[in-house]
Amino acid sequence: MKYGRPDADFMKWRWKPDGCELPLFNPAQFLELVRGKSMAFVGDSVARNQMQSMICLLSRVEYPIDVSHTPDEQYKRWRYVTYNFTLANFWTPHLVKSAETDPNGPGKTGLFTLYLDEADDRWTSEAEEFDYLIISSGHWFYRSLVFHEDSKIVGCHYCLLENVPDLTKFYGYRKAFRTAFKAINALKNYKGITYLRTFAPSHFEGGIWNQGGNCVRTRPFRSNETALADENLELYMIQVEEFRKAEQEGRERGLKYRLLDTTQATLLRPDGHPSRYGHWAHENVTLYNDCVHWCLPGPIDTWSDFLLEMLKTEGRRSREEKLLFSDRKLKA
């Protein structure tokens, strides 16, 4: 609205699950549940967008102080002093070790080298500190990518290099999540809960992100107007399949995995992006029509509704497990 957006209905729509009511996010309740704990958002700028949404929601109760270890804005830490609760974000758009190797790569959007069998130690080296990890990634896999495994090139996605097979973004996406989850399961002192926050589709129409695509709708899709399909469906299924494998492997170590499934709820919200209203009209920005990130307030706030409800369920589950354990001891 600051930059001229004329409509405001995008702030009023709410997700309604089938067969139950989803309570609005209660910031005081959330902060009590996470008292003395810490939570990290691991991923790209949409992960940071999710953290910013949560900070806005929690501001009704308390403003955090900046306790970042570095001036780098990609690695922020915030402390809620009253509740001894820490929020952090780790910038890792591919989850694995990666580097931009040619800024003028195919399509002038850069060429990135991904080491698919090496997790990004900028987040794995600090992951053990946290009680909750929220893992997500997606949109950066649309860029031109060269895949390395065992220290050699195995293929790419739209890299246009001679004698390098195009394995597609889906190959890299699957391997990246597999490596990230394996890194979590290999952590010696990690006892937290890992959430996979599923892919949030963008809503470019009339072209892709760097070829004039835009999102100008001012109301949500009805459920019969769109469906998860094509590339969005493939990315979602890859995530869920790798999550299930990691969950099974982690269970053997006593680790907990939870699926924070935001895909369908955000698929229906083409109205919730900044579009050209995320900046001043004269500014030269990379994503001029932003149909990837989400307005605040807006649809992304629903993700905190989901997360709070899952934390409440987690508390009930823990109490039931303690009662069951106590009952077993009595019977023994």
293 catalytic residue (yes or no): yes
DSSP-assigned states of every residue in 13-69 = -----TTS--PPP-HHHHHHHTTT-EEEEEESHHHHHHHHHHHHHHTTT---EE--S
From 45, 68, 131, 261, the catalytic residue: 45
From 44, 290, 301, 305, the catalytic residue: 290
From 98, 293, 304, 305, the catalytic residue: 293
275 catalytic residue (yes or no): no
34 neighbors 134 (Cβ within 8 angstroms): no
Report strand pairing: 38-43 vs 96-102.
Answer: unpaired
Residue 97 exposure: Cα atoms within 13 Å on the Cβ side: 12
In DSSP terms, which residues pair with 153 in a beta bridge?
A: 148
Helices (H), the chain: 27-33, 45-58, 121-124, 168-185, 230-251, 263-267, 301-331
In DSSP terms, which residues pair with 96 in a beta bridge?
A: 119
Active-site positions?
Answer: 45, 290, 293
